[in-house]
Amino acid sequence: MRSHSPIMLLIVLLASAGTAPHRALPLVRPNPNTSRAGVLRGGVLTVALEARQSTWRLNGPQRPPMTIAAFSEAGRAPLMPGPLIRAGQGTAIHLSVRNSLSVPLTFLIPAAIHGGPEQAGALDSLVIAPGAVGVLNTRATVPGNYVYRATTPTAASRDAEIAGLLAGALVVDTSGAAPPAHDRVFVIMATPDSTLVSYADTATTRFPLRDSPIGRIIFTINGRSWPNTERISATAGDTLHWRVINASIVPHPMHLHGFYYRVDGMTGPLAASFQLPARGEMVVTQLLHGLWAMSMTWSPDRPGNWIFHCHLAVHLQPDSLSAEPGDSYLRGMVGLVLGVNVAARPGARAASALVPVRHLRLIAVAGSPTERDGHATALAASAAKHFVLEENGRRVETETDMSPELDLTRGEPVSIMIVNHLAEPTSVHWHGIEVQDSYVDGVVGFSGAAGHLSPEIAPGDSFEARFTPPRSGTFMYHAHMNEMRAELAGLEGALIVRDSGSAPSADDHVFFLKGINAKLQSLAGEPAHPLEVNGMTNPDTVVLHVGRLARLRFLNLTTVNVEPLVSITARPDSSLTGVGDTMTVHWLPLAKDGFDLPAAARHPRLARQELSIGETYDFAYMPSQRGNVRLEIRGNGGKYPLLIRVPIRVE
């Protein structure tokens, strides 16, 4: 038999290598969190998880894939977020975790589920070597919603406190209580892409992932980003119970369009030390801190298409990879948005057409605002913009880079014609208002109903919004396209609804916070825009009166100042930090997001309130003596650094 030459052997080996089966990484699937992982038998829930390298198509099948660590149940596809661990109160949980990664894995669950303290470091942990299996036994004692997660010894995992996609929901149901109808679990994740991970692991200087000069963070709900997130179906009159779990260290102010929701419970590190919603309190926006979770209940009573989303505009901002086809100017939304399609109840009568009592015009215009107190807004990305208000021949135009206040009457139908004199399309959302028809809600291409969806307002075009404000309170209106730049530019304003015959009082004051902290401008990717109150960096003095009750209305539509601290102090002058202020006055909480607070929350307390993006608060304050006090806006990090202040003179 003739032997093969060395060249022929090489050819044979190469051919064999080319035809050898290649073991592709498993593809990560979005997890709708509707099926519980594991096997429940004899009061014990047994769950077998595996952490392994997987392929994640982070922006859909047409985008480049990313190799990333993800959890799966043994023998099943990896999921994002990880498999849902759900047990009734009192259930023993037996967890086995196989580490198929090449680095050690630390698996973590909060000790609070079995009665431990709700603190950041109060965790049950399990360190698992590569190729090994670790076992963790615990008991589901305290009902609530929690995050389980895992970390690896990498810089990106250190900063995110999660490795890759290695996080999921852990739900403990109340003993003996069946889950309510329309009960859903939604898990928010904030995942760095491979560019950002590589940069974090190789950079010589440590920095938070969010401050990286390259790469990006992908925001998802149950493993998907808008516009590909799940559409939730409901019927008018349904009661929806949601568990919203923040499996990231990034805070998210969660806003519901068109309706209020009740926060039934809140869990998370140090949650008990924060000002949480009172029992029965209704909100349209609620902040979820990192690794927190909330249970919420709401009931849509009107049909249409509505959304639930994070109100931190930077978390909705598209880039060239995530933008929808055709959105070359990056004006749409991506990320943390859920769409809800509400059908009319069978047999229900269609709402009758509104006959407006008032007719207003909001005209979107561009141009530099008049310089005040030595400051003119400098926006490199876009010129300053604002709305001009017209009614019955009267024209109101602000002198600052924000828009005029709208004053409406409860129960009085109104027509607002939005006229676009800009060089780009726009839309307007009536934030907190329970508009009767979602067609006017302002979400382009989604608000409305099938065949009748809200259009963008093209340059030179107009759009009529008709609604009847059903309650008095403090609300706002703002552009809902290209939100981050539009709001910085000035396309937003206060919307105040009063009872019929109730004229504005001289002691009724609005404080609208907008802009961006200079230290945080790199996070938003925008040029510097100073923080402002009512469009001013050096606000005018507010005059109050001894013995007269003042109503103070606070609105936050800043860009990345997630939860600044608002307070009123009688100190002779402002200190650079807000720690240990013993001269804070007292006020009476009245309303949150335009909804009157329940009696349990209406009691005098120190005039200090954390005000998240998209929230409004009303307080009553009665000065007891003449003199000077100050409204201070402080950052909520470190020692509460002073950001801006408003002088108040009491006469």
Q: Residue 107: give the domain boundaries.
A: 29-177
- Report the pLDDT value the prediction gives residue 314, as an integer from 0 to 100: 85
497-503 own/partner pairs: CB under 8 Å, 24+ apart = 497/408, 497/409, 497/410, 497/433, 497/469, 497/471, 497/472, 497/473, 497/594, 498/407, 498/408, 498/409, 498/410, 498/472, 499/409, 499/410, 499/472, 500/409, 500/410, 500/411, 500/412, 502/472
- Report the pLDDT value the prediction gives residue 549, as an integer from 0 to 100: 96
Same-domain status, 198 and 337: yes
Residue 183 domain-assigned (yes or no)? no
The residue from 149, 177, 205 where one domain ends is 177
Residue 169 domain-assigned (yes or no)? yes
- Report the pLDDT value the prediction gives residue 577, as an integer from 0 to 100: 63
pLDDT one-digit tens code per residue, 265-281:
999 998 887 888 888 89
Percentage helix, strand, coil, to 5, in the chain?
10, 40, 50
Same-domain status, 474 and 510: no
Contacts of 361 (CB under 8 A, 6+ apart): 389, 390, 391, 416, 417, 418, 419
Same-domain status, 270 and 382: no
Q: How many domains does the chain have?
A: 4
- The 3-state DSSP class for residue 272 equals helix
CATH code: domain of residue 166: 2.60.40.420
Residue 16 domain-assigned (yes or no)? no
pLDDT one-digit tens code per residue, 140-186:
999 999 999 999 999 899 989 999 999 999 999 998 777 788 999 99
The residue from 177, 202, 217 where one domain ends is 177
b vs e for 539-567, b when ≥16 Cβ sit within 10 Å of the residue's Cβ? beebebeeeeebbbbbbbbbbbbbbbbbb
Q: What's the average model confidence in pLDDT over 466-486?
A: 94
Residue 452 domain-assigned (yes or no)? yes
User: Binning pLDDT at 50, 70 and 90, where does residue 382 land?
Assistant: very low
pLDDT over 90 percentage in the chain: 68
* CA contacts within 13 A on the Cβ side of 480: 27
Q: What's the average model confidence in pLDDT over 590-614?
A: 95
Same-domain status, 302 and 322: yes
- Report the pLDDT value the prediction gives residue 451, as an integer from 0 to 100: 85
Same-domain status, 154 and 264: no
The answer to whether the CB of 468 falls within 8 A of the CB of 411 is: yes
The owner of tokens 């329940």 is 598
Residue 23 domain-assigned (yes or no)? no
Same-domain status, 549 and 598: yes
Total Cβ atoms within 10 A of residue 300: 22
pLDDT one-digit tens code per residue, 499-549:
998 888 999 999 999 987 655 554 445 555 788 999 998 999 999 999 999
- Report the pLDDT value the prediction gives residue 152, as an integer from 0 to 100: 97
pLDDT one-digit tens code per residue, 286-315:
999 999 999 999 999 999 999 999 999 888
Residue 98 domain-assigned (yes or no)? yes
Q: What's the average model confidence in pLDDT over 384-398?
A: 93
In this structure, the strands spanning 608-610 and 167-173 are: unpaired
Same-domain status, 496 and 373: yes
Residue 11 domain-assigned (yes or no)? no
Same-domain status, 406 and 322: no
Q: What is the pTM of this model?
A: 0.91
Same-domain status, 537 and 472: no
- Report the pLDDT value the prediction gives residue 519, as an integer from 0 to 100: 52
Same-domain status, 143 and 75: yes
The residue from 500, 519, 540 where one domain ends is 500
The owner of tokens 């069946």 is 178
- Report the pLDDT value the prediction gives residue 604, as an integer from 0 to 100: 96
DSSP 271: G
230 has pLDDT over 70: yes
Contacts of 433 (CB under 8 A, 6+ apart): 467, 469, 475, 495, 497
Cα 92 from Cα 139, distance rounded (Å): 4
The residue type found at 56 is W
Residue 422 domain-assigned (yes or no)? yes
pLDDT one-digit tens code per residue, 73-101:
999 999 999 999 999 999 999 999 999 99
Structure tokens at 167: 């996080």
In this structure, the strands spanning 358-366 and 414-420 are: parallel
372 has pLDDT over 70: no
Same-domain status, 540 and 428: no
If you average pLDDT over every residue of the chain, what do you get? 88
Specify the higher pLDDT residue, 449 or 319.
Answer: 449
Q: What's the average model confidence in pLDDT over 59-77?
A: 87
- Report the pLDDT value the prediction gives residue 23, as an integer from 0 to 100: 67
Cα 463 from Cα 467, distance rounded (Å): 13
pLDDT over 70 percentage in the chain: 89
- Report the pLDDT value the prediction gives residue 248, as an integer from 0 to 100: 96
Same-domain status, 33 and 158: yes
